[in-house]
């Protein structure tokens, strides 16, 4: 999880805790009802957070997969281009070698 996602999750959890605390302080109901409401809200918050984390994980996985595919495609293109350049260099060197052989043959006569 990226640093920004971690900060968002921390802010979400902090907000949920503060909201639950304020709710308890201003609850006009008996303790049993208040605890039941707190439990329900906690379960709801847990489910919401789990859903958001799952969604964030899916999005990060999709992004990572797309970046991986893009990297692999670019790497393949780079290797292909380098291969063509290497072929050009080899052809140039072969021509130079042939020229040197001809000059050497003329000098040996």
State the 10-residue block means of pLDDT for the chain, 109 residues long: 70 79 70 78 85 88 94 92 88 92 86
Residue 52, pLDDT score: 85
Domain residue ranges in the chain: 3-80
Residue 29, pLDDT score: 65
Residues 6+ apart with CB under 8 A from 23: 37, 38, 41
Q: pTM above the 0.85 mark?
A: no
Residue 96, pLDDT score: 92
Instruction: Give CA–CA dist 95/54, Å, rounded.
Output: 61
Q: What are the tens digits of pLDDT across the range 63-94?
A: 999 999 999 999 999 998 888 888 889 999 99
Q: Retrieve residue 108's tokens.
A: 């040996």
Instruction: Give CA–CA dist 74/20, Å, rounded.
Output: 50
Rounded to the nearest 5°, which phi and psi values hold at 41? -65, -35
Residue 65, pLDDT score: 94
């Amino acid at each position: 999880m990226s640093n920004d996602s971690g900060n968002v999750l921390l802010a979400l959890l902090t907000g949920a805790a503060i909201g639950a605390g304020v709710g308890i302080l201003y609850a006009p109901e008996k303790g049993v009802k208040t605890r039941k409401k707190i439990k329900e809200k906690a379960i709801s918050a847990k489910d919401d957070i789990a859903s958001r984390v799952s969604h964030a994980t899916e999005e990060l996985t999709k992004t990572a997969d797309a970046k991986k595919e893009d990297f692999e495609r670019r790497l393949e293109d780079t290797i292909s281009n380098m291969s063509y350049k290497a072929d050009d260099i080899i052809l140039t060197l072969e021509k130079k070698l042939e020229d040197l052989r001809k000059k050497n043959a003329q000098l040996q006569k």
